[in-house]
Amino acid sequence: MTYQIGNGLSTSLWHDPWHPIGILADEFDNSIISDFGSTPQALVASIIQNNSWRWPEGRRRSRQVIELIRATPVDQVPDCFKTNSVKWTASTTRIYTTKSAYHRMRDSQHNICWSHLVWFKGNIPRFAFITWLACKFTLSTKSRLKAWGVVKEDQCVFCPMEPDTIEHLFFACPYTYEVWKEIMSLH
């Protein structure tokens, strides 16, 4: 979202993300509020005068105030004759939709090059899901369950030689090695 400041009467000076820096209360320490001769509840309107910014002068112009002034774009000029507005920047239409909010909130990660080996047309969802968890190293093996305090023993169910980890289960266990060998011989 971007805030377009008009008269500043409906936007919090310190707690709304109206400035390109972000929420000013999060970006600066509390001394900036006193540098402005302001209160934590102040509105953006308190620093607007005659359609321009009214910044602190003299000794009140601290390092933080100077940083704020420098970070304010020259084209971000208030307009006392307009009300403030908020634009939704997560969609090309600048109109809020649930779909655009969902896409904005979810993690946008790169496609994983091997995902088509797990998720393909005709897969069995239960098997694909287990395979996906194993590939992401999040499968609930006995070693993980023991670390969480769910079980007391973490030895492999098939061979009591080693702890039951993803690496052991899929690559080192003699029993599952034979199972994988039989599966591969079917093709």
Q: Is 70 exceeded by the pLDDT of residue 38? A: yes
pTM: 0.50
Q: What's the pLDDT tens digit per position in 117-147?
A: 888 999 999 999 998 998 888 999 999 999 9
CA 135 to chain centre: 23
Q: Is 70 exceeded by the pLDDT of residue 108? A: no
User: For tokens 């199972």, what's the residue?
Assistant: 179
Q: Is 80 exceeded by the pLDDT of residue 44? A: yes
Angle of CA points 179, 182, 186, to nearest 5°: 140
The pLDDT of residue 150 is 94
Q: Is 80 exceeded by the pLDDT of residue 6? A: yes
What number is the average pLDDT over the span 149-172? 91
The chain-wide mean pLDDT, for the chain, equals 88
Close Cβ partners of 118 (under 8 Å, ≥ 6 residues apart): 128, 131, 132, 135
